[in-house]
Amino acid sequence: MHIRPDTDDEKFSEFLEGWRVQELVRKYSDYIRFPIRMEVSKTRKKEGSPEGNPEYETYSEVETLNSMIPIWQRQKSKVKKEEYDKFYRDKFSDYAEPQRVIAVSAEGSVTYKALLFIPSQQPFNYYSKDFEAGLQLYSNGVLIMGAYFIWYFHYMPVGNDAVPELLPTPEQRKGTYERIRHFRASKPLFAMDFQNDAEYVGGCIAGGHRYLHINANGDVDPCVFIHYSDSNIREKSLLDALRSPMMMAYHRGQPFNKNMLRPCPMLENPQRLREMVANAGAHSTDLQSPESAEHLCAKCDRYAENWAPVAEKLWEETLAAKANKA
């Protein structure tokens, strides 16, 4: 592991300090259901040291950092008021007991349990910049407060040094497709699948269809994963860039496949990307190691060929399921 050098504004080296690691584990992973252990330094009185002038020594021992017991997962009838009060004081650094505790257990299409504490007084740091308002949301024991959705991507073979063997097999992609849809029905966060959700947006979202990418040099790329452009935002307006041959080729080509599980002109339809780059006269905008469209697409040919029959079967099943619901 490498830590960035400290700057005037950020002290990255503190993440190597034991106290900081313990703080992060207890904040974000206190309720993961397996022990997170770490060797910590402690101080104790030396054996035989005189009472009037005691001597101390430092020693190390392995300590479990996380509690592993989310109190809100226990049955309300089996949790004593004293346990709720102690949890509240420890968790929110408040010396007073909460005015009220509300425990909720809901079951349905989404199942969750909630524990709401109403403070008996204003938080001591209410006017401080460190004050964190709002609820804390946990999923599988991990704090995900502030997150509303998850966006899944698989490996993209972009760059001259990219390894196509890291692309998922058809079986792995199909498993991801099924798993993410399971998450949508069972997790409190909404899960989005970059590779398999084209049916909800009418195909590939790039090329100005739903978004585009502008790199640090000002080059207007159709996608963050497809670094080919014929326009620069410092030389023309965004509207003119969207009217450029490369972007218009994207516009005219949508959808790149009628099967919405094969939406990408690079991954699932690499010949389409070869044609668009050649016809538009676009150039590589990779600032470190320019890569030809042929080199990139060649890494996707076998992937596209292997995925096609699996995608066809899945898409037929999807269309049949929609027809049955109609």
Which helix (H) or strand (E) segment is 283 a member of? Answer: strand 283-284
Length of the chain: 326
State residue 48's pLDDT score: 84
Does 233 score more than 80 pLDDT? Answer: yes
Which carries the bigger pLDDT value, residue 127 or residue 3? 3
Does 126 have pLDDT greater than 80?
A: no
Mean pLDDT of all residues in 58-80? 85
Separation in Å, CA 284 to CA 192, 222, 291, 292: 29, 12, 6, 6
The amino acid sitting at 318 is: T
C-alpha 136/C-alpha 92 separation (Å) is: 11
For residues 135 and 106, give the distance between their C-alpha atoms in angstroms, rounded to a whole number.
17
Residue 198 · residue 263 · CB < 8 Å: yes
Q: Is the pLDDT of residue 2 over 80?
A: no
What mean pLDDT comes out for the span 140-155? 72
Least confident of 155-169, 180-194, 212-226: 180-194
pLDDT for residue 241: 96
pTM value?
0.60
DSSP structure string for 217-234: T-BEESBTTB-EES-BTT
What is the C-alpha to C-alpha distance for residues 61 and 93, in angstroms, rounded to an integer? 26
The pLDDT tens digits of the residues spanning 246-257 come to 999 999 999 999
User: Please, what's the largest Cα pairwise distance for the chain?
Assistant: 88
- CA 281 to chain CA mean position, Å: 35
